[in-house]
């Protein structure tokens, strides 16, 4: 969208003395995001001493390190080299991960509002939300929270002006072009349209996160009965 | 194994180690000590690895009992620690006999004290760290602040631990009511007017009561954006100053989220975590814009006590 040098190539900026960030063109696009993920993989594979964290986001990668242990010049050079590579080609689009969602009712208290704004029936909102295969652009906010996009423009409603104090775990929401699932009960401003019986984040699993950046996701509508069966939880009336 | 038992928890006492690094790409916040230098110093003096878990004690300290003979060190903020009716010297190995009660009193300087015990607090690691992250309820004791009745296992008094009386100097002079910290411009200084950077370097901000381990919400002269207050969400490294539409900056600290959508005008230098981590709501904070060279020099200076062993 906006950026000091939105048209320029990737640039490397510092955040303090212990983080370097590669910033790509400031826009939400699968190609830009794929380049950010490729840089993150390259730096992880290089195994620099002292690197503490590699955080890819929509169109940037932040590498945090121990300034006493990391050769910052070498890290900067490696970032520059990795960032200059073209978008990775030949990586097959992964098969979509199917996420069952029970839409509306008490699980999706904002579905009527989203439908009103979209000027269509609730069923059409559900149809539009489930019609697309979404890309997982990044994880953030809380453990296991995946930012998916882009939703159909007709249902791309802005988040609430005042966030809810409590959003139930596994709620599925929309915020502008993004859609996502709340892994745990937190405050949150996204428009809630349904709930999934799956656990987005579970420390009991070898890989706690259900979704990883770069994954493809499709939402599948399920009934309240199926929700109850899959989650072992009482469905709403 | 020995143990300590919490009689009164104090305002906010949490188990911390150097943090849950390496999982931010999964959305897992880092956590860790607000003043990592004081945490490390407490461990160093006692003879622990710097990764050993300490208790971070905030402003109003806890009251706790050692269930067996144990050595300990209190570093960082001076919150008037005492063992029974005797004052506990800061930054010094002390010996607690079984049944002795460690308590705290008035805040004399700083905001966060660190209690190191032999081999560290023995809570189970979560994703490789014992650090308590309150928002994601991870690490420490059930991911929460300590409560009365909590019992924490620790190592024993013997072994390789330093003898009572061993002492070191504090890392920094404890701030009293406020302090200046050094920052480097960026990562998104270009989103602000030139005047905003000048304002940041010339002003004092108040740390508001809406501040916590996630960040310090500051109140003071407004920092003007040059091109809007929204960016595409990106990473939020330790110590960045993000500025929402209000123009009032937020200094992101240990428990910060992994990503955010506000431009970031400047970032605290690592060395001055030792100062920022010792500030509390009601204190003032000022920002001195420095150069990368100054940041490195400050870092080397800060590390001197650790290099000398």
This complex has an ipTM of: 0.95
CA A72 and chain centroid, separation: 29
Distance from CA of B223 to the nearest CA of A (A): 18
Please give the Cα distance from A88 to A214 (Å, whole number). Answer: 12
Of the candidates A101, A14, A11, A145, the one whose C-alpha atom is nearest the C-alpha of residue B240 is A14
Q: How many CB pairs under 8 A join A and B?
A: 148
Residues of B with CB below 8 A from A2's CB?
227-228, 231
Structure token pair of residue B15:
């188990």
Which is it for strands B234-235 and B54-58: parallel, antiparallel or unpaired?
Answer: unpaired
Shortest CA distance to B247 belongs to which of B184, B199, B304, B177? B199
| 8 A C-beta contact, residue A122 and residue A153 | no
In order of their start, the domains of chain A are 11-84 (3.30.1360.40), 97-231 (2.40.100.10)
What is the rounded distance in angstroms from the CA atom of residue B82 to the CA atom of residue B61?
11
pLDDT over 70 at A8, yes or no: no
**pLDDT over 70 (residue A4):** no
Give the pLDDT of chain B (309 residues) as one tens digit per residue: 799 999 999 999 999 999 999 999 999 999 999 999 999 999 999 999 999 999 999 999 999 999 999 999 999 999 999 999 999 999 999 999 999 999 999 999 999 999 999 999 999 999 999 999 998 999 999 999 999 999 999 987 555 678 888 999 998 999 989 999 999 999 999 999 999 999 999 999 999 999 999 999 999 999 999 988 888 999 999 999 999 999 999 999 999 999 998 999 999 999 999 999 999 999 999 999 999 999 999 999 999 999 865
Nearest CA of chain B to the CA of A8: how many Å?
Answer: 14
Q: Is the sign of the CA dihedral B254, B256, B258, B263 positive or negative?
A: negative
Identify which of A225, A167, A211, A210 has the alpha carbon closest to the alpha carbon of residue A192: A167
User: Is A9 touching B (CB cutoff 8 A)?
Assistant: no
Residue of B nearest to A26 (CA): B232
Any idea which residue has 């000027």 for tokens? A119
Helix %, strand %, coil % of chain B (to 5): 15, 30, 50
Instruction: Note the residue count of chain A.
Output: 237
- Collapsing DSSP states into helix, strand and coil, what is residue A103? strand
Q: Is A33's pLDDT higher than 70?
A: yes
Q: For position A101, what pLDDT does the model report?
A: 98
Choosing among B17, B20, B27, which should be mutated to test the A contact, i.e. which has the most A CBs within 10 A? B27
Residues of B in contact with A56 (CB under 8 A): 25
What dihedral angle (degrees, nearest 10) is formed by the CA atoms of A114, A118, A122, A124?
A: -140
Across the interface, whether the CB atoms of B234 and A186 are under 8 A apart is answered no
- The contacts of residue A200 (CB under 8 Å, 6+ apart) are A144, A145, A146, A170, A181, A182, A183, A209, A210, A211
Of A2, A60, A213, the CB nearest to B228: A2
Model-level pTM?
0.94
Q: Is A211 on the interface with B (CB under 8 A)?
A: no
Between the two ends of chain B, the Cα-to-Cα distance in Å is: 27
């Amino acid at each position: 969208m906006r950026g000091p040098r939105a048209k320029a190539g990737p640039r490397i900026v510092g955040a303090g003395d212990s983080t370097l960030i590669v910033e790509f063109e400031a826009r939400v696009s699968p190609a830009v995001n794929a380049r950010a993920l490729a840089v993150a993989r390259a730096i992880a594979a290089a195994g620099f001493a002292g690197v503490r964290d590699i955080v890819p986001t929509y169109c940037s990668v932040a590498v945090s390190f121990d300034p006493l242990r990391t050769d910052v010049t070498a890290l900067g050079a490696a970032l520059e080299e990795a960032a200059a590579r073209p978008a990775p080609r030949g990586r097959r689009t992964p098969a979509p991960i199917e996420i069952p969602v029970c839409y509306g009712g008490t699980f999706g208290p904002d579905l009527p509002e989203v439908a009103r704004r979209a000027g269509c029936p609730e069923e059409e909102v559900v149809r539009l939300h489930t019609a697309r295969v979404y890309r997982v652009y990044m994880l953030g906010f809380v453990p296991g929270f995946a930012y998916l996009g882009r939703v159909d423009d007709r249902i791309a409603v802005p988040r609430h002006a005042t966030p809810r104090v409590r959003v139930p775990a596994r709620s599925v929401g929309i915020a502008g072009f993004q859609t996502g699932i709340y892994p745990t009960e937190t405050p949150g401003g996204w428009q809630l349209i349904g709930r999934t019986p799956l656990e987005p984040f579970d420390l009991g699993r070898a890989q706690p996160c259900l979704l990883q950046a770069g994954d493809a996701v499709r939402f599948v509508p399920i009934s309240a009965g199926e929700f109850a069966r899959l989650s072992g939880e009482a469905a709403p009336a | 194994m020995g143990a300590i038992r919490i009689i009164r928890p104090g305002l906010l006492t949490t188990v911390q180690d150097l943090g849950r690094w390496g999982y931010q790409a999964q959305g897992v916040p880092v956590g860790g000590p607000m003043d990592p230098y004081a945490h490390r110093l407490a461990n160093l003096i006692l003879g622990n690895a710097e990764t050993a878990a300490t208790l971070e004690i905030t402003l109003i300290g806890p009251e706790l009992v050692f269930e067996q003979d144990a050595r300990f060190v209190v570093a960082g903020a001076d919150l008037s620690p005492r063992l029974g009716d005797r004052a506990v010297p800061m930054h010094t190995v002390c010996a607690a006999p079984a049944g002795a009660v460690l308590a705290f009193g008035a805040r004399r300087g700083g905001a966060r004290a660190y209690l190191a015990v032999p081999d560290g607090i023995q809570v189970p690691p979560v994703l490789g760290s014992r650090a308590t992250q309150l928002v994601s309820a991870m690490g420490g004791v059930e991911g929460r602040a300590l409560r009365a009745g909590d019992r924490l296992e620790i190592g024993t008094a013997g072994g390789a631990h330093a003898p009572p009386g061993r002492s070191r100097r504090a890392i920094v002079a404890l701030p009293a009511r406020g302090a200046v910290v050094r920052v480097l411009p960026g990562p998104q200084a270009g989103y602000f007017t030139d005047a905003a950077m000048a304002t940041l370097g010339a002003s004092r901000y108040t740390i508001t009561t809406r501040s916590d381990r996630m960040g310090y919400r500051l109140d003071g002269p407004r920092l003007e954006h040059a091109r809007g207050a929204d960016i595409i969400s990106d990473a939020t490294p330790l110590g960045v100053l993000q500025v929402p539409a209000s123009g009032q900056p937020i200094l992101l600290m240990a428990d910060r989220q992994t990503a955010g959508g506000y431009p970031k005008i400047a970032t605290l230098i690592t060395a001055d975590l030792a100062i920022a981590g010792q500030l509390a709501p009601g204190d003032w904070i000022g920002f001195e814009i420095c150069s990368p060279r100054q940041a490195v020099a400050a870092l080397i200076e800060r590390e001197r006590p650790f290099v000398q062993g």
